[in-house]
A and B are shown apart, each in its own frame.
Chain A
């Protein structure tokens, strides 16, 4: 069980798990759909000459606006890489769990967890590398020449990397939390709702400014340029705080995983 073999096996596991495909599809298709809706309504408004001043009309902004929602896909990827180990097989087939086979094949626990974390990073980064350009391309196709591009290539690259980093860190946080819970249900529901419908951390900022230091609030300026709430940390310090949260959670997850019975 060289580190390379363990990693290659984990990659293969993630690639052949239907849930990973669903997660990537949620990110890609969900974000694309939102982009189509946003772009079409922007195009209609532009053509009618009633685009409001300050509204998002540049193709990049329109495509990029759907990207924060794609975080849900990163959450699902992070969760399923771990929760699939603990899913019980059907009772007819003995009800066993994959973690038994995994640990028999790769008994070095820290190496295994590291291989899984790297798998999450690679899967999320690959999903981001496809999804974000696709969203921007869709917006460009729909809006066409109706609105000028106001975002320069340099800024586009920065914001693409920022979003990819935010997704990746969120995927790793979801992964670490699932190491604790073993079941995917709680982290999936909590983190999906937090990334899409209601941000609990955002609500908490009304109670205490300390909530700006929570990982998702700290990292939110990685989606540069998008309208977000005032206050809190700047982009770089925020990204560092989010990364520290991620590293801390992974370290605790590793300590727990190395010690506990399978």
Chain B
């Protein structure tokens, strides 16, 4: 369970998050949608304790991330790809991550196998493709068998087969009772997997609810997205007005 309330964040005098609040519930896949620069990553960075908020709270299971003991056993996350140093091998990367949270060494091989990197584990990460980097990031996220997964643009760079695989994995995690929160700026990737949607634009929540609730009154999720975010596209009206519906 992820609970975000009234989150505000300023960066260089500019308000990048303005009262952001939503929940990601167990057993469901929550998609966090918005154009680039809308505040998706900023929200997730505050949630994961990387950046400080100027106001509001972001809690995982009722606690701030920074207060979690062995956080990887509660939340698995991926931001900006794998986070592995380019001159390290994938195996060495996952091994130190495991060590930091007291996760048994045996899990390293297991998660690399799970994401399809068993054969590439001894290759340096700097020579990985974007899709392999995403798989490696996911391997680290799965290490501690966490209840919640928080993933920033997880299907970025994956080929169609990879996207399908990622969807299956996230669906399985939610169906097993886990919480999945993923951000994306691509609606097509999200439509087939999300149970709940949170749409953000200009640092404010434009809409939130189940997939049906958010897309009600729009021909498609894509139309709903453009309409809600006011992004350039068909019917690019202001987002605030739509949010009131």
- Mask: chain A, 1-29; 1 = CB below 8 Å from B; 0 = not: 11001101100110011110000000000
- Mask: chain A, 242-261; 1 = CB below 8 Å from B; 0 = not: 00000000000000000101
Measured in the bound complex, the distance between the Cα atoms of B49 and A244 in whole Å is 32
8 nearest CB pairs, A to B? A94-B81, A101-B83, A96-B80, A9-B100, A96-B81, A261-B51, A16-B92, A262-B50
- B101 CB to nearest chain A CB (Å): 6
A-B contact pairs, 14 of them (CB 8 A): A1-B69, A5-B99, A5-B102, A8-B99, A13-B96, A92-B128, A94-B133, A95-B80, A101-B83, A101-B93, A103-B48, A104-B50, A261-B50, A261-B51
Contact residue range for chain A? 35 or more
A-B contacts at CB below 8 angstroms, number: 127
- Mask: chain B, 24-57; 1 = CB below 8 Å from A; 0 = not: 0000000000000000000001001111100000
Contacts of B137 in A (CB 8 A): 96
- Mask: chain B, 67-98; 1 = CB below 8 Å from A; 0 = not: 01111100001011111111111001101110
Given contacts A93-B130, A94-B134, contact A100 B50 (CB under 8 A): yes
Measured in the bound complex, the distance between the Cα atoms of B89 and A18 in whole Å is 10
Listed in ascending order, the chain B residues whose CB lies under 8 Å from chain A are 45, 48-52, 65-66, 68-72, 77, 79-89, 92-93, 95-97, 99-102, 125-126, 128-130, 132-134, 137, 140, 156-157
Measured in the bound complex, the distance between the Cα atoms of B105 and A5 in whole Å is 13
A96–B79 touching, CB < 8 Å: yes
Contacts of A107 in B (CB 8 A): 48-49, 65-66, 68, 71
Q: Which of A90, A96, A106 contacts B83 (CB 8 A)?
A: A96
A1–B45 touching, CB < 8 Å: no
Listed in ascending order, the chain A residues whose CB lies under 8 Å from chain B are 1-2, 5-6, 8-9, 12-13, 16-19, 84, 87, 89-90, 92-108, 259, 261-262
